[in-house]
Structure 1
Amino acid sequence: MELGIGMFGDNHYDLQGNPMDSGERLRELIDEIKLMDEVGLDFFGIGEHHRPDYAVSVPEIVLAAAATVTKKIKLGSAVTVLSSSDPVRIYQSFATIDQLTNGRAEVTAGRGSFIESFPLYGYELKEYNTLFEEKLDLLVKINQQNPVTWKGKLRAPLDHQEIWPRAVHDKLKIWVAVGGTPESVVRAGKLGLPVIFAIIGGNPAQFQPLFNYYQEVYKQFKHDINAFEVGVHMHCFFGEDSEKAADEYYPVYASQMNRIGRTRGWQPYTRSQYDYGRGTNGHLIIGDANAAVDKILEMHELFGLTRFSAHMDVGGPSHTSLMKSIEIFGTQIAPKVRAAIKQ
């Protein structure tokens, strides 16, 4: 099982509740990715958002910068909002990163949980599903062949069009991010693409039927089961002491939940919700190394994971605390998880 980190580049906030300069957060991100590489984590993914509470709108730029300070870690998006992006440009961008890193780039395509990119780039929100299906189809075709001939409904066709540069081994690794709908699972399973499930609420065990369904669809379409891959993305934060880490992180985490919640009509986020999420049946992995190891191994056993992504910067915790969390993940948690899986 691969172990890595996902981030959205959440901005820091001042005492008045205003987002601080994104440049500081971006420079911190590069230092954080460098440390992930140094402590031996397998992959890093960065998300795409177009809001003041996030510093990253173009993941490829951050990944290209990270390519210059890393040696082994895989670098990818988490996610690329494919519905409002151009698949040709996405392939070219990530193939360029792949060339820079000698084969370490990957892309995770998703529909996104925010909608700001649609009006920003001139797309109709009513075509949300059709845009994703069509563009994923084109991205997969570009990844499989060159030149490309393709025709859809919402994008100009391609007629025997060559697309350069190509990835190091001609093909990029393409993941599909899903939130928990059978339709998303079927789409990925038909194409034989690896799936990463975002488990950011509720009891993780509730997702097991979807994991099983994905595997059934994957087999039904006769894809190579030896190439089967599935992962989860869960909110995480690590410290030397479980309760101290939880207490430190709660105000930061709750602030972001409330910022998002105000735009979606959610009730204010409470400490009881947070503590339940950290519990046995919860979706949060926030605490010390031993508690994290137990919960990650539980997820591995429950879902048959090949990848675990710790989403670590919700709310914009301090750079110092994030660096400590990354260090603990790489030097204390990851070795124990890997050793346990090998047994």
Structure 2
Amino acid sequence: MLYDWPLNREFLKFRKSFYLMANHAEPIDVVVTGAAGQIAYSLLYQIAAGTIFGPQQPINLRLLDIPPMLKVLDGVVMELEDLALPLLREVLPTAEPAKAFNNVAAAFLVGAMPRKEGMERKDLLAANVEIFKVQGEALDKYARKDVKVLVVGNPANTNAIICSHYAPSIPKENFTAMTRLDQNRAQATLAAKLNVQVDKIKNVIIWGNHSSTQYPDAAHATVTLSSGVKPVPSEINDDEWLNNIFVSTIQKRGAAVIAARKMSSAMSAAKAAGDHMRDWWFGTKPGEWVSMGVVSDGSYGISKDVVFSFPVIIKDKHYEIVQNLPISDFAKSKLDITSKELEEERAEANNVLKK
């Protein structure tokens, strides 16, 4: 076998400098709630392996769950140890929010009360107010003030508002809700329709709530073909499919996964959480945007102070809502529906908060 020794020497120098940088960087503290659950099980590897915060960023993991799940967390910790990942420096399993949120730079709030059969939305919100009140207060008291908070646990948009309410010393823009799973689903569906790789689809948008009222919007999406970058709507050339089948498929995808798997999305949800936080940490590419549930500033006529999914661009860990996109009457009607649902959720949450 022949070797290119000069090239190998350069590679070894690069590898040495890479590990030196990783070994000398200060670890950041990252908390994952609901850490014994299925979403966390897939998410923790991404965090510890460097796929979210970068291959040179050491991590201290804080794993928060309720006391009955601590024994399960012991097993999760053993698996994290057995991964033998050089970036993972410390792992703390705990049921104490004060320990879990201490000095954290990033928070994945995965744990939430799931909706059970026969449960009204107001009952679900009431249960989650208690959870996110405790976590918001812990963030306010113990976390870094520049902490990036991603709420995954449903109802994610309104849970993010509740959490922010109880953490008044942290800027509201630091609280986001995950609609990246819906974006990924929409991107994959459009790619399958056009028979292209999924990374050839850009700038599909999820508007509104992470619920069945969300509006997946392909009007501004593009596809890269051998002939160049083309608008998705013109390439599909089927408004009936785009406005009905596509929208309904994405809105109902979570329910379809539950029906088939008998459990909610986990692996794909974890991947989406990683995508969301990585883009927030490192920024979006020029000319591209991603969907994030963020506190509305009134853009596109959406009520302020609801967490609404918008297209955003991100630079230097700060996001901006993409402005002045043309919105059709059909799209406006869909935005109105999902906005109304979020306003109703906010009102119900406020009633609970006042009690």
State whether TM-score is above 0.5: no
Q: Which one has the largest radius of gyration?
A: 2
